[in-house]
């Protein structure tokens, strides 16, 4: 990483007894950040990696999405959190852009049995963090969130374009997961 320009921090949210997992995550996060920054176009923003459960992942992601979209309606927020919880049960991780320009990477600790599993998820989500720094990506995500929350409608063309680009970004992230093998080989 470029010295003090980028900050990668690892924390937990409502997890107890995972001190060793937290230490492993901190070690892998630094290595993963350097690896992803070298191999993916874009600029690595400040990243907050949070280890949590599915319920915590849904709550934190919804809060970050609502802040980014400028949503203040509590009922819409609660509805979104219930929907997010259904998705989070099967999700290993999620990267969420933050209103301050940083990125929140949420890792569902229940989905990771080994450091190898964690490394793959970490690399995948850090690739998304790099993508958020690209021109127009953050604005497109905000527009889609505002539409999803019912704040401001986007056109069908914009919605289709967002889904097409989202699919391409997801493919790029899956394509870079091989980098995780370098992490786990150095960690061993």
Chain-centre distance for alpha carbon 18 = 20
* pLDDT score recorded for residue 17: 83
Residue 146 lies in a domain: yes
Residue 177 lies in a domain: yes
Q: Which secondary structure element, helix H or strand E, spans residue 141, and what is its range?
A: helix 137-148
Are the C-beta atoms of residues 118 and 183 closer than 8 Å to each other? no
Residue 2 lies in a domain: no
Residue 52 lies in a domain: yes
Length, in residues, of the chain: 188
- pTM of the entire predicted model: 0.92
> What gap in Å lies between CA 185 and CA 188, rounded to an integer?
5
Residue 141 lies in a domain: yes
Residue 188 lies in a domain: no
Are the C-beta atoms of residues 76 and 37 closer than 8 Å to each other? no
Q: Would you give per-residue pLDDT tens digits along the chain (188 residues)?
A: 444 456 899 999 998 888 888 998 999 999 999 999 999 999 999 999 999 999 999 999 999 999 999 988 888 889 899 999 988 989 999 999 999 999 999 999 999 988 899 999 999 999 999 999 999 999 999 999 999 988 899 999 999 999 999 999 999 999 999 999 998 666 55
Q: What residue numbers bound the domain in which 14 lies?
A: 8-183
Task: Provide the domain count of the chain.
Answer: 1
Structure tokens at 93: 């991780």
């Amino acid at each position: 990483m470029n010295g003090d320009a980028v900050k990668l921090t690892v924390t937990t949210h409502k997890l107890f007894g995972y001190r060793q997992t937290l230490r492993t995550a901190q070690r892998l996060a630094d290595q993963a950040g350097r690896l992803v920054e070298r191999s993916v176009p874009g600029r690595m923003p400040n990243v907050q990696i949070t280890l949590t459960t599915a319920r915590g992942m849904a709550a934190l992601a919804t809060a970050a999405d609502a802040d980014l979209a400028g949503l203040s309606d509590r009922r819409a927020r609660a509805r979104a959190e219930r929907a997010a919880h259904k998705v989070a049960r099967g999700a290993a991780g999620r990267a969420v852009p933050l209103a301050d320009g940083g990125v929140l990477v949420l890792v569902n600790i229940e989905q990771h049995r080994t450091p190898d599993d964690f490394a793959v998820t970490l690399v995948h989500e850090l690739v998304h963090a790099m993508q958020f720094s690209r021109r127009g990506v953050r604005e497109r995500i905000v527009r889609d969130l505002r539409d999803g929350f019912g704040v401001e409608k986007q056109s069908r063309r914009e919605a289709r374009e967002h889904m097409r680009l989202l699919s391409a970004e997801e493919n790029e992230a899956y394509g870079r997961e091989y980098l995780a093998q370098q992490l786990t080989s150095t960690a061993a």
